[in-house]
């Protein structure tokens, strides 16, 4: 803080780690970026391990450092918004997430809720990789397109609660046939996380074609 004064905070679960890596790799060298990220965790999860999540402490951190905040980017896995992480209707996680973001808004307006991305839902292991390279057509599009509806609901709910929302789905425009493998490289490392290559590939689409570009490169 003494050196850079202002910093960007990236907050969320393991998908926010993907976002942290993307923005870190694409930002200016002198950009100060802090990640408060923990896999699996989403706001106010009803689970006996909830105390191991970081969202309550994140609120304290935001309050303590509000004057040094440039922007908060918040995101978490899209399928958590689906019932049983699989199907519509949308689960009560949407309400919990929005309520948490409203708590942040009580402290600062420097908040951008970055919505979920489409998840390919393909297990990348030795067996599936051999299958893929034998015949690329062996892989079918297994994306749960219910996440498109989730995105639309999150847009509206965010707007209704005066929360700035960026649709990752709208900006990236993921197409399974074109974007799952690019130049022989997988853009995902498992069913839903970006690979190191994907962090750059999708990161460029997200950063340079959205409000994030103006935040990083004013």
Copy the structure tokens of residue 165. Answer: 């929302």
Mean pLDDT across the chain: 93
**Tens digits of residue pLDDT in 72-93:** 999 999 999 999 999 999 999 9
Question: Cα separation of 147 and 79, whole Å?
Answer: 7
Residue found by looking up tokens 């990640």 in the block:
35
Task: Output the pLDDT for position 79.
Answer: 97
Q: Which residues on neighbouring strands pair with residue 90, listed in sequence order? A: 82
Task: Output the pLDDT for position 187.
Answer: 96
Residue 184 CA to its chain's centroid (Å)? 24
Question: Cα separation of 207 and 216, whole Å?
Answer: 8
Range from 75-84, 117-126, 149-158, 187-196 carrying the lowest mean pLDDT: 117-126
| Residue 135 pLDDT > 80 | no
How far is the first Cα of the chain from the last one, in angstroms, to the nearest whole number? 20
Q: State the angle between helix axes of 55-64 and 93-107 in degrees (0 to 180), rounded to the nearest 10.
A: 20
Between 30 and 119, the higher pLDDT residue:
119
Q: What is the mean pLDDT of residues 47-63?
A: 81
Provide, rounded to the nearest whole percent, the portion of the chain with pLDDT above 90. Answer: 84
Between 63 and 30, the higher pLDDT residue:
63
| Residue 48 pLDDT > 50 | no
Task: Output the pLDDT for position 110.
Answer: 98
| Residue 129 pLDDT > 90 | no
| Residue 44 pLDDT > 90 | no
């Amino acid at each position: 803080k003494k050196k850079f004064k202002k910093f960007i905070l990236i907050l969320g679960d393991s998908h926010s780690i993907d976002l942290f890596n993307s923005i870190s790799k694409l930002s200016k060298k002198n950009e100060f970026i802090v990640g408060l990220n923990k896999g699996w965790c989403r706001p106010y999860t009803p689970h006996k391990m909830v105390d191991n999540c970081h969202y309550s402490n994140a609120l304290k951190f935001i309050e303590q450092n509000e004057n040094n905040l440039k922007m908060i980017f918040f995101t978490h896995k899209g399928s958590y918004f689906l019932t049983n992480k699989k199907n519509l209707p949308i689960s009560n996680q949407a309400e919990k997430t929005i309520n948490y973001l409203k708590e942040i808004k009580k402290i600062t307006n420097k908040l951008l809720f970055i919505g979920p991305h489409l998840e390919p839902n393909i297990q990348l292991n030795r067996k599936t990789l051999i299958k893929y390279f034998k015949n690329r057509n062996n892989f079918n599009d297994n994306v749960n397109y219910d996440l498109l509806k989730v995105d639309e609901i999150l847009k509206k709910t965010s707007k209704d609660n005066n929360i700035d929302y960026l649709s990752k789905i709208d900006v990236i425009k993921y197409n399974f046939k074109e974007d799952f493998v690019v130049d022989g490289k997988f853009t995902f490392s498992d069913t839903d996380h970006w690979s190191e290559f994907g962090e750059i590939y999708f990161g460029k689409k997200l950063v340079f074609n959205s409000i994030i570009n103006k935040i990083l490169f004013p």
